[in-house]
Structure 1
Amino acid sequence: MHYIAAGSGPPIVFLHGFPDHGLGWRRQIESLCGNYRVLAPDLRGFGLSDRPRGHANYALLPNLVQDVLSILMAERLSQASIVGHDWGGTIAWWLAMRVPSAVRHLITLSSPHPRNYLRAIADPANSGYFGYVRRFQEAGVAALPTPDELASWVADVDDRQALVASLRQSDPEAVLNYYRANIPLGRVPDIGPLPLIRAPTLALFGTDDPYVPASAFDGTFREVDNVSSVLALPGAGHFIHHQAAAFVTREIEAWVAQPPSNFRHLA
């Protein structure tokens, strides 16, 4: 696992989504590294991290969750605040469920709780949001846009060029394996009972996200046994850590600055 490490202080791990890379958190890293130890990996298959073959290597459990634990181990950390966007958010949710002691605070961006995400995919009314998922699963690499097309959402020229370079280093099959290994083909069954999240949880999303319906965030509080907050950004799309970078960074810093015990006192 390749990861960016900057600053010193309480640790925050940033997990990117698709199509992105660790440096996609540049604005948050630059703003927070003065007071925090900031860690931002390229997820497996992306950028400079290893790209094992076979879709089973991209299963959330145990592989993608274990990757985050390996970074904590490399940093000699037992716990960190975890921030995740898109697939990184899904990994963060599962980490908080399966290894709650490792997650001090949980913050997700454009990433509903896994139960609600799969329910949203299963709802025929949401087919317009998730058509790309089925194309990735069924057509494979043929359905994947070029690195330049995948990076077209990045407004900053330098950031876009850095993402294009990273995507060219990524393995297209590995990227698609996230969808093949973790989202069932055909009928999507209900995920069933899951452990409640014990960390104080903040979920951020854009109201104009073309890939995730706002309704997928309904009921988030039912999955968290702690203080939880769901914050909608009017007019924002999927990549809110870029589109509203300063606002998102302030929300992250305000959330992780509070000791978890303080949240308990509010409950």
Structure 2
Amino acid sequence: MTSKTGFESRFAANGNVKLHYVAAGSGPPLLFLHGFPDHGLGWRRQMEALCGTFTVLAPDLRGFGLSDAPTGHAQYTLLPHLVEDVLSILVAEQLSHVSVIGHDWGGTIAWWLAMRVPQAVRHLVILSTPHPRNYLRAIADPGNARYFAYMRAFQEAGAAAMPAPVELAGWVADEGDRQALAESLGRSDPEVMLGYYRANIPLGRVPDIGQLPLVKAPTLVMFGTHDPYVPSGAYDGTFREVDNVASLVAISGAGHFIHHQAAGFVTREIETWVSRPPSSFRAF
């Protein structure tokens, strides 16, 4: 089935959970992972620009859009469920590895995939998402409370704190894209979407997650300097978490949704990064 954007609609399965994704193009594979509140087609600008050179794939994460929404917050843990969802798409596409681009929750999933299944990740590109260790430390810092007030409201008040789909999609400037996102979010259960926060971020004291495997893939991290949801200081420890070439790019004046707000720049940076063979990053 082909969507209104011209992308083909496909499905993968992780056990009993069916995952919808869109696909286009041919060439080296790129997998785009969206965050909250978004959907696979939120990457439309990047996918349209890159599908002439690459195979582009973008799922609706479980609980979003046309993907299944299993009940219970325990169904939304990063390990094993969300990481295994990504692997199921690789299986469906008969891919052994892929370059992964993630934003927000998709960025967190991408970090964990690169740490836990390094052989599956050729390049890693992260948008608006600190490394999980640094992100949890930022959440635990009382000085950052203003950044994470929405998150605490979701955890404490539950679905009552969730705005309507039209409001959730309000960050999208393009009218057609905004309507498509609102329709997609309208198919999503608010309680299910909140499962990401309930399952993965403690409501009380946030523990330090300790030693983690270093990321082996060449890693590009981009963020907006005016992100109202993530403090810029949370990216300071990035280089200590990557055993490869890592680049940290701050986009002046941009907010959280940089794949829309600085779409052309972000797309060019992604293309430049993933076009280089991984081996070339170590050839100093």
Q: Counterpart in 1 of 2:24?
A: 6
The reply to whether residue 112 of structure 1 matches residue 151 of structure 2 is no
Q: How does 1:235-246 map to 2 (within 5 A)?
A: 235-246=253-264
Structure 2: distance between partners of 1:223 and 1:171: 35
Structure 2: distance between partners of 1:219 and 1:141: 33
Structure 2: distance between partners of 1:144 and 1:93: 26
The reply to whether residue 89 of structure 1 matches residue 107 of structure 2 is yes
1:29 maps to which of 37, 47, 59: 47
Q: Counterpart in 1 of 2:3?
A: none
| Number of matched pairs | 266
Contiguous gaps of at least 5 residues in structure 2:
1-18
The reply to whether residue 17 of structure 1 matches residue 35 of structure 2 is yes
Q: Counterpart in 1 of 2:116?
A: 98
Q: How does 1:62-211 map to 2 (within 5 A)?
A: 62-211=80-229
Letter of the 2:189 counterpart: D
Letter of the 1:240 counterpart: I
Structure 1: distance between partners of 2:43 and 2:169: 14
1:151 counterpart SS class: helix
Letter of the 2:180 counterpart: A
What is the TM-score of this pair, normalised by structure 2? 0.93
Deviation, 1:174, is 1.1
Structure 2: distance between partners of 1:117 and 1:19: 18
Q: Counterpart in 1 of 2:250?
A: 232
Structure 2: distance between partners of 1:87 and 1:265: 32
Structure 2: distance between partners of 1:160 and 1:133: 22
Structure 1: distance between partners of 2:69 and 2:171: 24
What is the TM-score of this pair, normalised by structure 1? 0.99
Structure 2: distance between partners of 1:17 and 1:163: 12
Per-residue Cα deviation, 1:161-216 (whole angstroms, up to 9, x for no partner): 00000000111111000000000111101110000000000000000000000000
2:125 counterpart SS class: strand
Structure 1: distance between partners of 2:193 and 2:106: 13
2:249 counterpart SS class: strand
The reply to whether residue 58 of structure 1 matches residue 73 of structure 2 is no
Contiguous gaps of at least 5 residues in structure 1:
none
Equivalent pairs: percent with the same residue?
Answer: 75
Deviation, 1:264, is 1.2
Per-residue Cα deviation, 1:131-178 (whole angstroms, up to 9, x for no partner): 111110110000000001101110000000000000001111110000
Q: Which has the higher contact order (CA 8 A, sep 6+)?
A: 1
Q: Counterpart in 1 of 2:10?
A: none
Higher helix share: 1
Letter of the 1:63 counterpart: H
Structure 2: distance between partners of 1:58 and 1:83: 20
1:242 counterpart SS class: helix
Letter of the 1:116 counterpart: N
Deviation, 1:235, is 0.2
Letter of the 1:118 counterpart: L
> Which 4+ residue blocks in structure 1 deviate beyond 6 angstroms?
none
Per-residue Cα deviation, 1:83-117 (whole angstroms, up to 9, x for no partner): 00000000000000000000000000000000000
The reply to whether residue 38 of structure 1 matches residue 56 of structure 2 is yes
Measured on the aligned residues, the alpha-carbon RMSD in Å equals 0.4
Structure 2: distance between partners of 1:150 and 1:55: 21
Letter of the 2:73 counterpart: H
Structure 2: distance between partners of 1:80 and 1:171: 30
